[in-house]
Structure 1
Amino acid sequence: MTLKSHISGWSLFFLAAFSPGVHLQRHGSSSQPSSDSELPSEAQISRPVLQPSEAPPSTGTYLLNDRVGKPCIRATMGAEYIVTEKKKTWYFNLDPSSVKTGGNCDKETAVLSLTLPNQAASLQFTFRKENNFIYVTNVTAHVSPQPVCQGCANKTYSGVITHKKLFTAANSQSFKCKSGKLLLMSSELKIRLVPLQMQAFSVPNRDYGPKMECWADFNKRAIPIILGAVAVGLVVIALLTFQFIKDRRRPGYDRI
């Protein structure tokens, strides 16, 4: 090393020691201070994007086994999150391909949990068996979407329904509702399940048993039949009335 290079090295050392903002680096390596962009942040976590318009949700089928590997819950549904923010309505549909299924099954209680990665959204049903009937007693849900407006803070919308008897079906039967169900979770969050079919505790051959139809489906099927029967009845009454009046007006014979 020459005297000139030695003096230059010491000059650089003193410059770095007494001058703020100057950092020494070794040749062949880079030692830069880490920036905020290199650290994990909420922006890098996948968050649902709320939509201003409604679209039919994709239908998924979710199967949960008990501790011995026997199917204990089967559910088929499309799930739509309806969020109210600043007097506007926003929508988010649960993507079945991204859902992780979890839960547990006991003798009289069973839980089905549907969760997106990073807990971005969840939907949980608690089933209860009582006498010969099975129903959902608790429903919990949450969604943590991207802010719906510029400058809005990150927010989680959540809600819970407890101590209810929802989607009731007899033991070994399934509850089915093509018309769908709307659940009021909180003042800011609603969940629409459409279509919906579920069965708990007994899922023979990993399939549904006989179905118990919801009132909305029954009305859609029965009302046209009832209206048709009423229309036919009115037509028959009209024909009989016309025939009766015609017979009364027919001329007869006078007795001599």
Structure 2
Amino acid sequence: MMRRAHTKGWCLIILAIIAGVQLQKNEFSVQHASEHHIYRPALQPTDTLPPIETYTLKNHVGKPCIKATMGVEYIVIENKKTWYYNLDPSRIKIGGYCGKEAAVLSLTLPDNASILELGFRKERNIFYVSNLTAHVSPLPVCQGCVNKTYSGVLTDDKLFAVADGQSFKCNSENLLLTSPELRIRLVPLQIQAFTLLKGHYGKEVECWADFTKRVIPIIIGATVVGLFLIAVTTSLFLKDRRREGYDRL
């Protein structure tokens, strides 16, 4: 009887130790779970240039099929006030897929705090962005404000369209209105899909905004010079006519 009681006592002690260890493990798990914070970007009241990054998506054989160099800024309209968030490239997860005539580039923040998705189409020898989907779930813009997700979709027939094997490039900003509450600003932008020789950009095609910025000052300068030359020529011509008139008198 003494031996049985002694054995029973040891069993109770062992069970108590196991229960204590399990309780500590459960407490650690609850504490660890409570320490996990869902990532939410912070909106800013001022507009700044976003950091530039090159994002590359490869197909199933490891060959680049989409390449985009850009800075991305989310512009949120809340209570008639404008807020800004610059996409942080260091936190981005690149996803999507590559097909022969359709492809998607997806840029996602942790906890799906934001997603920017570009859909590409290829028709004959031209590729373009056919749609853009975006959403962002930032920290509330004020104390007591509820968490809110801002989302939008932009569908365009041929956005950033260029010939296959070439790249669309624009140093001027591209402001894309996806919804009344959310706009996406891409600045600068260079993008190419489907055909990338050795993963490099092809021949650059300049956007219209860059072209006008470069050409209009030249046109204005040439016009000013032309008007100046016309004025000088006219002045000299009139002086010569006056001199000829004086000689005849």
Q: Is 1:196 paired with 2:193?
A: no
Please give the alpha-carbon distance, in whole angstroms, between the structure 2 residues aligned to 1:188 and 1:39.
Answer: 36
**Deviation string for 1:68-94 (max 9, x for gaps)?**
111111100000000111111111010
User: Does 2:45 correspond to 1:52?
Assistant: yes
Sequence identity (%): 60
State TM-score, norm by structure 2: 0.85
Aligned ranges for residues 135-154 of structure 1 at < 5 Å?
135-154=128-147
1:132 maps to 125
Provide the secondary structure at the position in 1 that maps to 2:227. Answer: helix
Find out whether 1:185 has 2:190 as its counterpart.
no
Note if 1:233 corresponds to 2:226. yes
Instruction: Please state how far the C-alpha of 1:43 moved relative to its aligned partner.
Output: 7.7
> In structure 2, what is the equivalent of residue 95 of structure 1?
88
Cα separation, 1, equivalents of 2:215 and 2:88: 33
Structure that is richer in helix per residue? 2
Report how many aligned residue pairs link the two structures.
229
Partner in structure 2 of residue 122 of structure 1 = 115
Q: Deviations over 1:127-176 (max 9, x none)?
A: 10112211100100111111111111111111111243111111111111
Deviations 1:169-227 (A, max 9, x none): 11111111100200101111000000001000011122111111111101110010000
Provide structure 1 residue ranges, at least 5 long, that are not aligned to the other structure: 1-25
- Tell me the distance in 2 between the aligned counterparts of 1:151 and 1:211: 48
Q: Which protein shows a greater Rg?
A: 1
In structure 2, how many angstroms separate the alpha carbons of the residues matched to 1:242 and 1:41? 85
Name the CA distance, whole Å, in 2 between partners of 1:42 and 1:219.
Answer: 53
Matches within 5 A, 1:205-244: 205-244=198-237
- How far, CA to CA, are the matches of 1:182 and 1:175 in structure 2? 16
Tell me which amino acid in the other structure corresponds to 2:53. Answer: G
Partner Cα distance (1:161, 1:64) in 2: 22
Distance 1:177 1:216 in 2: 8
What corresponds to 1:71 in structure 2? 64
Q: 1-side partners of 2:225 and 2:36: how far apart?
A: 64
| Alignment counterpart, residue 238 of structure 2, candidates 219, 223, 245 | 245
Q: Summarize deviations over 1:26-50 as a string: whole Å, max 9, x none.
A: 6894859969x83746981111011
Quote the Cα distance in structure 2 between the aligned partners of 1:178 and 1:171: 21
Contiguous gaps of at least 5 residues in structure 2: 1-15
What's the RMSD between the two structures over aligned residues? 2.2
The alpha-carbon distance between structure 1 residues 42 and 204, as it changes in their structure 2 partners (threshold 3 A), is farther
Q: Report the TM-score, using the length of structure 1 for normalisation.
A: 0.83
- Is 1:155 aligned to residue 136 of structure 2? no
- Give the counterpart letter for 1:51 in structure 2: Q
Describe the SS at the equivalent of 1:252: helix
- Inter-partner Cα distance in structure 2 for 1:170 and 1:136: 12
Q: Which amino acid letter does the alignment assign opposite residue 108 of structure 2?
A: T
2:175 and 2:121 map into 1 onto residues whose CA distance is 20
